[in-house]
Structure 1
Amino acid sequence: MSNLPEAFIAFESDVSAVVLPQAFTFPFQYEPHQLSKIAAAETQTYLENYTTLNHNFGLTPEQSGLVIGKMFGVLVVQAPDGTLGYLRAFSGKLGNENHHIGFVPPIFDMLTKQSYFLQEEEVLNRINKEIESLSDAENYKALQQQLQQVIAEKETAIAQKKAELKCEKNTRKTIRETQRKLLSAAAFEILEQDLIKQSLRDKHELKVLTEKLENQQQQLETELAEMNQAIDALKNERKEKSNALQDYLFHQYQFLNQAQETKNLLDIFKNTVFGRPPAAAGDCAAPKLLQYAFQYHLKPICMAEFWWGASPKSEIRKHKQFYPACTGKCEPILGHMLQGIETDKNPLLVNWAVDLDYKIVYQDEDVVVVNKPAEMLSVPGINIQDSVYTRIKKQFPLADGPLLVHRLDMSTSGLLLIALNKKAHKFLQAQFIKHTITKRYEALLNGVVEQQEGYIDIPLRGDLDDRPRQIVCYNHGKAARTQFKVIETTQNTTRIHFWPITGRTHQLRVHASHHLGLNCPIFGDDLYGSKSNRLHLHAAYLKFVHPTTKQNIEITSDPDF
C-alpha cells in the first residue's frame, strides 16, 4: 500500500465478494456498478464529515456564502499489484480552491501562486478598471448627454424652421393666385421676382441654420470620438489578451489516455461542431479521475458521478443522485481518454424496441391511431431506423404523405395519431397548430404534489453543454405551459394528468421535476429523476376532428404502470 499514489482510497467496506464488471462504464448513460455505489457512499460520508471545507453546498441554512452545488465523481481503479480502490474528484473548484485532501488534483492548476494565468488575470482586471474609469468619468458622461441634447435640439429647430418655411411658401402661393388676375403682366412679373427672392432667402436661412447645428453636433462627436478611441483601444487590448490567455490555457490542458498519448483541448475540440472548447472544459470530475489514473498506471474499472448540494436554478440536480457525464464538455475529451478501453454498449445504439410492437386502437381509410410502447422511436433516429413511422409505412404501403401528425419521446408510451393520406395529414396538422386537438398524459411521480390542480409556466431551452437535456431559462427560453390535475396520491407517489398547452422538448418531464414546477420527477426519468424499468409517462387521451366526417373522435388508453 505504501507505493500507491496519494489520492488512492482503499475501500472501507469489504468488496472482496463483488464481481468486477466485464467492461468499463459508458459514461454518458449508465447504471452505476455496485463498486461505484460503494465508493460513492463512502465519499458522501466523507463529505458529511469534511468540516474544514469552505464551500456552501446549500445543505445547511446557517452557512454563509453563495450556494453552489457540485458534481462529484468516483473512479474505481486497480493498482499494478492488484489492489482495488478508488479515486475521488469534484468538478471545478471547491471553496475557490483546486486542491483538497482526499481528491485528485486538477489537470492544470491555473490558481498556482504567481502563475501566468493569475498574472494575466491581474492585467485584464486592470484594463477592466481603466475602461470602467473612462466610461464612468463625469466629463465623458456629460459629453454624451450634451451630444444627445444637441441632436434633439437640432432636430426640433430644423423641424420648426421647415414648418415656418412651408407656411411662407403657402402664403406666396396664395399671393400668386390672387394677384395674377389683379395685376398687369409687367407688375406681376415684378411681384414674381420678389417672391422668388423670398424663397431663395428662406432656403438660405434653412441651410445656414442646419450647418450651424450640424457643426455643433460634429464638434461634440469629434470630442467624444477621441474618448471612445481610448476606450475602444483598451477593449481591443482586453480582447486580444483574453483570447491569448484562453489559448494558453487550452494548450496547458493536456489529456492522457491508456497508451500515454496526450492531446490538448484545442486538438480535441478542433473537429467538433463549434471548433473550439467551451468554457470550463477539462475541469469536470470524469477527466480529472481518468487523468490521475493514467498518470499513476491505475487500471480504470468503473465510475459514477453524483450531485452534492442544492440544485442550480436552471438545471435539475437532486442531492446524492447519480448523473452521466455532460456531452458538450466531456464527450470529446473522454472520447480521447477512453481510446483502447472496452466500455459498456452505448444504449443509444441499441434498438430496445426490436421485440416490441404497437397496437392499432383506431383505423379507417384516413386515420390510424396506435398505442406506442415505451422505448420505441416515433420516427427514425440517427443510429436506429426502426420506428413507428417505418413500420406503418411497411404495414400501409399505399399510404402517402408524412404519415405521423405528431411525435412521442422514445421513452413515452401511448396514443400516436397517423394520417394515411396528404389531405388528412394537412387537416389534422392544422388542428395541432391551432391547439384544437386535446392531448392528455398520465404520469406517476416520485413524490407527493400538494397542489391538486393548476398550471406550470416555466420557459425552457436546450442545454448547449449537455444535449438533449433541457434547462429553465427566463432570458432565452421558449414559453412552456402545462395544465395538471392530481388524480391519486399515496404516501410517496402522485398519479397525475397533464395537458401540455405548448409542446417543448421534455416539457412534462422538466415541469414535473424542477423545483419551480412540481418538484416531483416522473418515475423512471433517467435525465431529470431516477432510472427505473421505464419512464412512467403515457399519452392516455386524444380528441380530434376527423378529416372526412368532421366528427369528434375521442380515444383513451390506460397506462401499464
Structure 2
Amino acid sequence: MLLEPIDISGSFDTRVSARGYCARCKREHTMVVGYAGRFADRLLHTLTEKGRIDLEVPDGEADPRFSTDYLYGEARGQMFGVLVVRGMDGRPGLLKAFSGQYNGVWEVDGWVPPLVDMDRFHAVNTGVERFIKRLGRQIDEAPAGSPEREALVARRRAVSRALMRDIHNLYMIPNLCGELISLREAVVGQGGIPTGMGDCCGPKLLGYAARHSLTPLGLAEFYVGRENRSGTRRHGGMYAACHEKCARIMGYMLCEECGA
C-alpha cells in the first residue's frame, strides 16, 4: 500500500522544505515540513534497522538489490522523502519516495513511482542507450586524435542530446489542481533542463499526490548513506528540496490557482 494511514497529532514544523516560482500565476509557492519531520525520522530508523528498502516483504524474501549496503559504497548515499497528505475522505496519510533509481531500479513496492510512464521511457531509451554504449566502445578502439574518433565522439554527443530531449518530452508535470503540462512548460529559470529533473523525492511525491487527489500537508527529505562527494549531504541530515532540479518545477507543482 502506497498511502499509509497515520495520526498527525503533535508539533508542527514551520520550516520551508520546498519552494518555487510559478510562471503561470506569477507567484512563489512553498511547502513546509509540517508534521512530516517525525515520519522522516521514523523512516530513517526503519531503514537503518531493516537494512533494506523493500519494506513490503518478509525478511526471508528480501531482494539483495534493495539492501542499504548499496548506499555506503561507491554509489554513495541517496535522498529519501515523506509527504503527509489529506485524502478526499479527510483522513491523513503518508507517502514515501527515494530519489531517482535505487541501484538501477526505478520502481519498488511501497514507494511512489516516477513521474514518467516507465513503459514509454523504456521504449524510448533502451535501444538508443545500447547504441550510445556501442559508440562508446568504438571510441575506445579508435586511435586517439584521429578524425574517426572525433567523428564518433560528435555523433555520440548528438545522439545523447536527442535522447535526453525525447526523455524530457515524456514527463508531464501535474499541479495541485490536477492540471498537466510538459516539463519544458513547467520549468522556470535560466539554463537547460538538467539530467534527473523531476526524479527527486519532492516532485515524485507531489506528482503522486496531485494525480490521486491528495492534499499535501508537509514534506520532509533526508539523506541516507555515505556522504556525497561535495560534502553537502550527510547521513541522517534533513534538507530542503534542491534549487537546480526541484525549485524550478515545484512552483507549478505547488500551485492551486486552477486555470491560471
Shared fold, TM over 0.5: yes
1:147-201 C-alpha deviation (Å, 9 max, x unpaired): xxxxxxxxxxxxxxxxxxxxxxxxxxxxxxxxxxxxxxxxxxxxxxxxxxxxxxx
> In structure 2, how many angstroms separate the alpha carbons of the residues matched to 1:111 and 1:70?
24
Residue 115 of structure 1 corresponds to 123
Aligned to 2:139: 131
Q: Tell me the residue number matched to 1:420.
A: none
Shift of 1:25: 4.9
Matched, 1:68 2:72: no
1:127-206 maps to which residues of 2 (within 5 A)? 127-135=135-143
Alignment of 1:155-554 (within 5 A): 228=147, 230-269=148-187, 271-274=188-191, 276-340=192-256
Instruction: Tell me the TM-score normalised to structure 1 length.
Output: 0.38
Q: Secondary structure at the match of 2:2?
A: coil
Distance 1:67 1:105 in 2: 21
Whole-angstrom CA distance in 2 between matches of 1:292 and 1:263: 15
What stretches of structure 2 of length at least 5 have no aligned partner?
20-29, 53-61
| Aligned residue identity for 1:97 | V
Runs of 4+ in 1 over 6 A off after TM superposition: none
Q: Is the 8 A contact 1:91 1:284 kept in 2?
A: yes
Number of the residue aligned with 2:40: 40
Partner of 1:57: 71
Bigger RCO (CA 8 Å, 6+ sep): 2
Counterpart secondary structure, 1:85: strand
Change (3 A) 1:91 1:113: closer
Correspondence for 2:55: none
Task: State the alpha-carbon separation in 2 of the partners of residues 304 and 310 from structure 1.
Answer: 19
CA distance in 1, matches of 2:94, 2:51: 18
Q: Deviations over 1:339-398 (max 9, x none)?
A: 127xxxxxxxxxxxxxxxxxxxxxxxxxxxxxxxxxxxxxxxxxxxxxxxxxxxxxxxxx
Query: Contact 2:18–2:32 (CA<8 Å) still a contact in 1?
Result: no
Residue 50 (structure 1) shift = 4.7
Helix, strand or coil: the match of 1:27?
strand
8 Å contact kept, 2:124–2:166: no
Following the alignment from structure 1 to structure 2, what is the Cα–Cα distance between the partners of residues 44 and 89? Answer: 12
In 2, the alpha carbon distance for the partners of 1:130 and 1:256 equals 41
Match of 2:95 among 83, 87, 92: 87
Unaligned runs of 5+ in 1: 1-5, 59-64, 137-143, 145-226, 342-561
Kindly provide the amino acid, as one letter, of the partner of residue 115 in structure 1: A
Q: Determine which structure has more spread, i.e. the larger CA radius of gyration.
A: 1
Change (3 A) 1:19 1:317: closer
Cα distance per residue 1:110-147 (max 9 Å; x no partner): 588953212110011111112222236xxxxxxx8xxx
- Render the CA deviation track for 1:199-258: whole Å, top value 9, x for unaligned: xxxxxxxxxxxxxxxxxxxxxxxxxxxx51x33333332222111111111111111001
Deviation, 1:109, is 5.5
- What is the identity percentage for the equivalent residue pairs of Structure 1 and Structure 2? 29
Following the alignment from structure 1 to structure 2, what is the Cα–Cα distance between the partners of residues 335 and 30? 10
Alpha carbons 1:307, 1:317 under 8 Å: kept: yes
Name which of structure 1's ranges 294-303 and 106-115 shifts more when overlaid on structure 2.
106-115
Q: How far apart, in 1, do the equivalents of 2:74 and 2:120 lie?
A: 23
Alpha-carbon distance in 1 for matches of 2:109, 2:75: 22
Relative to structure 1, the CA distance from residue 328 to residue 37 in structure 2 (aligned partners, 3 Å threshold; closer, same or farther) is same
Partners of 2:220 and 2:238 within 8 A in 1: yes
Q: Which residue number corresponds to residue 459 of structure 1? A: none
Normalising by structure 2, report the TM-score: 0.79
Paired positions, count: 233
Q: Distance in 2 between matches of 1:99 and 1:79?
A: 23
Q: 1:333 Cα shift?
A: 0.7
Report what 1:97 is aligned to: 105
In structure 2, what is the equivalent of residue 494 of structure 1? none
In 2, the alpha carbon distance for the partners of 1:318 and 1:26 equals 17
Aligned partners of 2:122, 2:256: CA distance in 1, in Å? 38
Query: How far apart, in 2, do the equivalents of 1:113 and 1:36 lie?
Result: 31
Contact 2:15 2:33 in 1 (8 A): no
The 2-side partners of 1:132 and 1:250 are apart by 29
Q: Does the CA contact (< 8 Å) of 1:309 and 1:319 recur in 2?
A: yes
CA distance 1:236–1:105, change in 2 (3 Å): same
1:27 match: 18
- In structure 2, relative to structure 1, the CA distance for the partners of 1:308 and 1:7 (3 Å cut) is same
Using the alignment, how far apart are the partners of 1:249 and 1:287 within structure 2?
16
C-alpha distance 117-292 of structure 1, shift in aligned 2 (>3 A): same
**C-alpha deviation, 1:287, in angstroms:** 0.2
